[in-house]
């Protein structure tokens, strides 16, 4: 998991830390900041580009995935509540990169994870000992060792917290250390987490990072004798804590939004597909707590035809702005879309803001934009049901 967002001012950061019981940050002196008295001011460092983009990974290549980069500022304006069909366009420009990786059947959304500025492809070929990683800041590809010595287990769960890339299976847990500097002979390696995960990775329903940046909350359904519940991992101390026999109300990844002071994600409650949900941040200190209060947005964001719907992913872009990426069958494909698994896929993307109304209800703002793209897969079977989308 790699929640991303816009940069905040120091005052905003201190307000957030104070509300969630975190100690204030120690301010550096002028000498520590490089602002010693009397000298001329140093020129500001010029960054080549700090603009973030929406990255899509598409299995439209016979040997793996193509990496597409979209500028959401170029999306077309979209009136709130509009549900008209937007003709999908093909990708005309070449991809920014290609990643060689196996296409997992219906679960490949768990084979990719963003960490820092990188996207890791956690589905290497059987003969490959390494994982390809794409760096969005440099557009370069690098190789990372596979985290486990065997693959006879359920698909791992991955998350990013406190500068660590975490990986969990039903039996093991590891984290990835920092990448060695250029020219170093030291290997890029994983380290074991001694505290075993108190849940099965294959039963994770949702997860969210606490605003402290180091505590990962995970909800997992019951499996065999293990009860359902919500747990947290202190990614610095590598210690687990159980918070109760309740589950967070999300499906997949949720994000902390500072302006709403809540976690936000796609609702995982039965009968509410396509609705957003906001949830109070659970306290870290208490081991057993009551479930936090949460609200379901009134508006359904999925497009009308459920027969074409495959899945969706919510991407957080910072400052209460989100992008919903919905995965659809192409409606013009012949025969019944569920019977023959046609190759064409449509990605319907909508950006919007979120706020609470005067009545305290979660609602989208009117400043919307939308784009619709289509790609063709090289095979007729398998494929992800959830879009592989990242904000980097």
- Residue 26 has a pLDDT of 42
- Whose CA is closest to 158, among 228, 252, 224, 277? 252
Q: Identify the residue with better confidence: 22 or 98.
A: 98
> Is the pLDDT score of 37 beyond 50?
no
Place 30 in a pLDDT band, splitting at 50, 70 and 90. Answer: very low
Q: How many residues does the chain have?
A: 392
The DSSP bridge partners found for residue 243 are none
Cα 142 to its chain centre, rounded Å, is 21
Q: Which residues are within 8 A (CB) of 165 and not within 5 positions of it... i.e. 6 or more apart? A: 113, 115, 120, 158, 159, 175, 176
Place 291 in a pLDDT band, splitting at 50, 70 and 90. Answer: very high
Cα 319 to its chain centre, rounded Å, is 16
- Residue 150 has a pLDDT of 59
> Is the pLDDT score of 141 beyond 50?
yes
The answer to whether residue 174 sits within a structural domain is yes
Number of domains in the chain: 1
Q: Identify the residue with better confidence: 34 or 359.
A: 359
Place 126 in a pLDDT band, splitting at 50, 70 and 90. Answer: low
Range of the structural domain that residue 199 is part of? 52-180+187-391
Q: Identify the residue with better confidence: 244 or 12.
A: 244
Place 382 in a pLDDT band, splitting at 50, 70 and 90. Answer: low
- Residue 235 has a pLDDT of 96
* Range with lowest mean pLDDT among 75-79, 126-130, 174-178: 126-130
Taking only the tens place, the pLDDT of each residue in 143-200 is 898 887 655 556 678 999 999 999 988 888 999 988 899 889 898 999 999 988 888 8
- Residue 106 has a pLDDT of 56
* Range with lowest mean pLDDT among 14-18, 195-199, 322-326: 14-18
The answer to whether residue 171 sits within a structural domain is yes
* Range with lowest mean pLDDT among 36-40, 225-229, 240-244, 305-309: 36-40
The answer to whether residue 39 sits within a structural domain is no
> Is the pLDDT score of 338 beyond 60?
no
Q: Identify the residue with better confidence: 13 or 123.
A: 123
Provide the token pair at 219.
Answer: 């909800």
Provide φ and ψ at 98, rounded to 5°. -130, 140
H or E element at residue 11: helix 10-19
- Residue 85 is part of a domain; what is its CATH number? 2.120.10.30
How far apart CA 267 and CA 46 sit, in angstroms, is 41
Place 362 in a pLDDT band, splitting at 50, 70 and 90. Answer: very high
Percent of the chain whose pLDDT exceeds 70: 76
Say how many Å lie between the first and final Cα of the chain, rounded: 12
Give all strands of the β-sheet with 157-161 in edge-to-edge order. Answer: 157-161, 164-168, 173-176, 190-192
- Residue 80 has a pLDDT of 52
- Residue 199 has a pLDDT of 87
Helices (H) and strands (E) counted in the chain, each on its own, are 2, 27
- Residue 281 has a pLDDT of 96
Taking only the tens place, the pLDDT of each residue in 216-271 is 999 998 655 567 899 999 999 999 999 999 999 999 999 999 999 999 999 998 77
| Average pLDDT estimate for 285-289 | 77
The answer to whether residue 293 sits within a structural domain is yes
Taking only the tens place, the pLDDT of each residue in 48-58 is 468 999 999 99
> Is the pLDDT score of 294 beyond 90?
yes
- DSSP state, 16? H
The answer to whether residue 23 sits within a structural domain is no
The answer to whether residue 210 sits within a structural domain is yes
- Residue 283 has a pLDDT of 92
- Residue 229 has a pLDDT of 93
The answer to whether residue 10 sits within a structural domain is no
* Range with lowest mean pLDDT among 33-42, 139-148, 159-168, 372-381: 33-42
The CB-side HSE value for 34 (13 A sphere, CA atoms) comes to: 5
Provide the token pair at 121.
Answer: 């492809």
Q: Identify the residue with better confidence: 388 or 336.
A: 388
- Residue 351 has a pLDDT of 96
> Is the pLDDT score of 102 beyond 80?
no
What's the chain's average pLDDT? Answer: 81
CA quadruple 195, 20, 266, 270: dihedral sign: positive
């Amino acid at each position: 998991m790699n929640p991303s967002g816009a940069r905040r001012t120091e005052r905003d950061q201190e307000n957030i830390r104070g509300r969630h019981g975190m100690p204030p940050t120690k301010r550096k002196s002028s000498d520590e900041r490089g602002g010693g008295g009397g000298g001329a001011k140093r020129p500001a460092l010029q960054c080549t580009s700090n603009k973030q983009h929406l990255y899509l990974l598409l299995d439209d290549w016979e040997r793996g995935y193509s990496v597409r980069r979209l500028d959401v500022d170029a999306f077309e304006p979209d009136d709130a509540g509009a549900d008209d069909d937007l003709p999908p366009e093909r990708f005309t420009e070449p991809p920014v990169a290609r990643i060689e990786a196996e296409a997992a059947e219906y679960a490949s959304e768990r084979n990719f994870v963003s960490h820092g500025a990188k996207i890791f492809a956690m589905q290497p070929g059987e003969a490959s000992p390494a994982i390809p990683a794409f760096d969005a800041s440099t557009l370069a590809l690098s190789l990372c060792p596979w985290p486990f010595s065997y693959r006879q287990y359920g698909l791992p769960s991955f998350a990013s917290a406190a500068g660590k890339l975490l990986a969990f299976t039903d039996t093991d847990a590891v984290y990835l250390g920092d990448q060695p500097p250029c020219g170093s002979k030291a290997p890029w390696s994983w380290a074991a987490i001694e505290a075993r995960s108190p849940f099965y990775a294959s039963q994770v329903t949702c997860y969210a990072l606490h605003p402290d940046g180091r505590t990962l909350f995970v909800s997992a359904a019951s499996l065999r004798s293990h009860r359902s519940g919500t747990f947290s991992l202190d990614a610095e101390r590598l210690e687990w804590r159980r918070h109760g026999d309740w589950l967070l109300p999300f499906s997949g990844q949720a994000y902390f939004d500072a302006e709403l002071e809540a976690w936000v994600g796609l609702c995982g409650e039965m009968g509410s597909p396509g609705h957003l949900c906001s949830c109070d941040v659970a306290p870290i200190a208490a081991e057993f707590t009551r479930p936090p209060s949460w609200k379901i947005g009134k508006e359904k964001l999925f497009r009308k035809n459920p027969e074409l719907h495959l899945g969706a992913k919510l991407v957080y872009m910072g400052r209460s702005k989100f992008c919903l990426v919905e995965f659809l069958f192409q409606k013009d494909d012949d025969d019944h879309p569920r019977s023959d698994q046609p190759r064409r896929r449509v990605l319907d993307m909508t950006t919007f803001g979120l706020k609470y109304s005067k009545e305290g209800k979660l609602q989208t703002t009117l400043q919307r934009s939308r784009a619709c793209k289509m790609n063709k897969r090289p095979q007729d079977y398998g494929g992800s049901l959830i879009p592989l989308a990242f904000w980097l």
